[in-house]
């Protein structure tokens, strides 16, 4: 797999975002994730957006992070929010999400972010299992869906020296 930095509005990112939105709509019966996202939110050093390509150059996985600070939606100063983690069905089970997650955490840490946070839904057990096995723990709800019963929020400290 070849993981590349891309803009959130790159054609491959748009394609994968459309696919994940269809899955969200199927799972939750609505229009997908309605969180407002501007491509500039993922521009370094305040964010990053990654796409993994297979050996044939097809986009197969994606994920990004964006900076957040304390606000009325429940974020804290220094937060990096994980967004649009997605692997196409035929690419699942190969560790792509875990590789993208690790790269995003490393980048957010290098950018001075102190905590990675994410929101997912109760109908995404594979995503929840990935995050729990990667050191994330449940946290106070935040973001657009913080009042939804189906919302699940997780956080992980981003230590500069993990062994310290």
Residue 32 has a pLDDT of: 80
The tens digit of pLDDT for each residue in 35-94 reads 899 999 999 999 999 999 999 999 999 999 999 999 999 999 999 999 999 999 999 999
The tens digit of pLDDT for each residue in 107-131 reads 999 999 999 999 999 999 999 999 9
DSSP calls for 113-159: --EEEEEEETT-HHHHHHHHHTT-EE----STTTT-TTEEEEEEE--
Q: Which CATH architecture has domain 2-157?
A: 3-Layer(aba) Sandwich (3.40)
How far, in Å, CA of 104 to CA of 32, rounded?
A: 23
Residue 161 has a pLDDT of: 62
Average pLDDT over the chain, rounded to whole?
94
Decide: 96 and 104 in contact? Cβ < 8 Å: no
Report the residue count for the chain. 164
How far, in Å, CA of 103 to CA of 82, rounded?
A: 12
Residue 60 has a pLDDT of: 98
The tens digit of pLDDT for each residue in 3-50 reads 999 999 999 999 999 999 999 999 988 778 888 999 999 999 999 999
| pLDDT surpassing 50 at residue 96 | yes
Q: State the pTM of this model.
A: 0.94
Q: 14: which 2 tokens?
A: 């748009």
3-class SS of residue 25: helix
| pLDDT surpassing 60 at residue 163 | no
Residue 29 has a pLDDT of: 83
How far, in Å, CA of 21 to CA of 40, rounded?
A: 20
3-class SS of residue 85: strand
3-class SS of residue 41: helix
Residue 7 has a pLDDT of: 98
């Amino acid at each position: 797999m070849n993981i590349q930095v891309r803009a959130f509005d790159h054609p491959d990112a748009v394609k994968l975002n459309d696919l994940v939105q269809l899955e969200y709509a199927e799972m939750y019966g609505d229009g997908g994730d309605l969180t407002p996202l501007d491509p500039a939110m993922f521009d370094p050093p305040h964010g990053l957006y990654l796409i993994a390509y297979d050996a044939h150059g097809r986009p197969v996985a994606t994920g990004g992070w964006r900076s957040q600070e304390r606000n009325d939606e429940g974020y804290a100063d220094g937060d990096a929010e994980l967004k649009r983690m997605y692997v196409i069905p035929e690419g699942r089970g190969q560790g792509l999400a875990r590789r993208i997650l690790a790269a995003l955490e490393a980048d957010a840490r290098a950018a001075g972010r102190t905590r990675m946070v994410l929101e997912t839904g109760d109908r995404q057990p594979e995503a929840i299992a990935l995050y729990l096995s990667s050191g994330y723990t449940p946290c106070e709800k935040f973001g657009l869906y913080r009042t939804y019963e189906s919302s699940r929020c997780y956080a992980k400290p981003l230590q500069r020296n993990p062994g310290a």
